[in-house]
């Protein structure tokens, strides 16, 4: 990508369901996300945090409005183009880790590269695991690791292909306090230091000190 990462959300609305069962998950949202910036999206349950992350991460297309990234406009793209956008430019970290249980930490990372038709030498994979504090754990499978360690494998996997945009949805929710703070610190360090763009959804106020700003959502709108 030639330009610095950015995402512009312009009057975006998103709904689920039809007629009386229709829920407005996002209602005319405007927001800007810049390179080197760590944004936390907070707000009560059902306020639209995951919906916003899904729309800017190319997981869902908005009903109205535009999402314009430094890699081009993604609103209105078809499913295939969105999948290509995500593979090429995005890294995701989810609450439930989403690792392959049958694969070691190193194999989980190699699998993520294979899905992108990329290959890196084993030493690059080991270096990525070292960078998240997992030296010597490359051969372990998820069921041999703690929650914090699994989440750090997920962070390493999300960053391995050097994505411009990194999205995390409640990445610390299933972790103890100490591991949760370490994961937030790590994401901040690895992403922001390299001038990437990090958006993290969380209710957890303890993560606030790591962020450059906190957007607060209510009823599908950004309220502060």
Ligand X SMILES: Nc1ncnc2c1ncn2[C@@H]1O[C@H](COP(=O)(O)OP(=O)(O)OP(=O)(O)O)[C@@H](O)[C@H]1O
* Footprint on this chain of ligand X (rule: CB under 6 A): 16-17, 23, 25, 43, 45-51
Helix or strand (DSSP H, E) at 168: strand 165-169
- Shortest reach from residue 20's CB to ligand X, in Å: 13
- Shortest reach from residue 97's CB to ligand X, in Å: 17
Cα distances (angstroms) measured from residue 181 to each of 40, 55, 167: 14, 26, 17
- Shortest reach from residue 196's CB to ligand X, in Å: 23
36 vs 216: CA distance, rounded Å = 20
Q: State the first-to-last Cα distance of the chain, in angstroms, to the nearest integer.
A: 31
- Shortest reach from residue 58's CB to ligand X, in Å: 16
Structure tokens at 11: 């009057």
Q: Decide whether 2 or 224 has the Cβ nearer to ligand X.
A: 224
217 vs 24: CA distance, rounded Å = 13
Q: Decide whether 52 or 160 has the Cβ nearer to ligand X.
A: 52
Dihedral sign of CA atoms 143, 177, 213, 13 in order: positive
Residues 6+ apart with CB under 8 A from 224: 215, 216
- Shortest reach from residue 122's CB to ligand X, in Å: 37
67 vs 155: CA distance, rounded Å = 25
Q: Decide whether 149 or 170 has the Cβ nearer to ligand X.
A: 170
């Amino acid at each position: 990508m030639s330009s610095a990462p950015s995402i512009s959300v312009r009057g975006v609305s998103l709904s689920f369901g039809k007629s009386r069962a229709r829920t407005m998950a996002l209602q005319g949202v405007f927001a800007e996300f810049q390179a080197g910036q760590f944004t936390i999206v907070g707000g009560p349950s059902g306020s639209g945090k995951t919906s916003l992350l899904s729309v800017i991460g190319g997981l869902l297309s908005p009903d109205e409005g535009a999402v314009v990234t430094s890699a081009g406009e993604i609103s209105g793209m078809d499913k295939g183009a969105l999948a290509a956008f995500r593979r090429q430019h995005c890294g995701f970290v989810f609450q439930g880790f989403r690792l392959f249980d049958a694969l070691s930490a190193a194999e989980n990372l190699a699998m993520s590269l294979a899905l992108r038709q990329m290959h890196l030498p084993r030493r690059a994979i080991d270096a990525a695991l070292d960078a998240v504090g997992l030296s010597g754990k490359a051969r372990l499978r998820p069921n041999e690791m703690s929650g914090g360690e699994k989440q750090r494998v997920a962070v390493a996997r999300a960053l391995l292909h050097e994505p411009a945009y990194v999205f995390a949805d409640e990445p610390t929710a299933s972790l103890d306090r100490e591991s949760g703070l370490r994961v937030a610190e790590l994401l901040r360090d690895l992403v922001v230091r390299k001038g990437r763009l990090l958006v993290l959804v969380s209710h957890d106020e303890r993560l606030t000190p790591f962020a450059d700003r906190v957007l607060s959502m209510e009823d599908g709108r950004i309220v502060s």
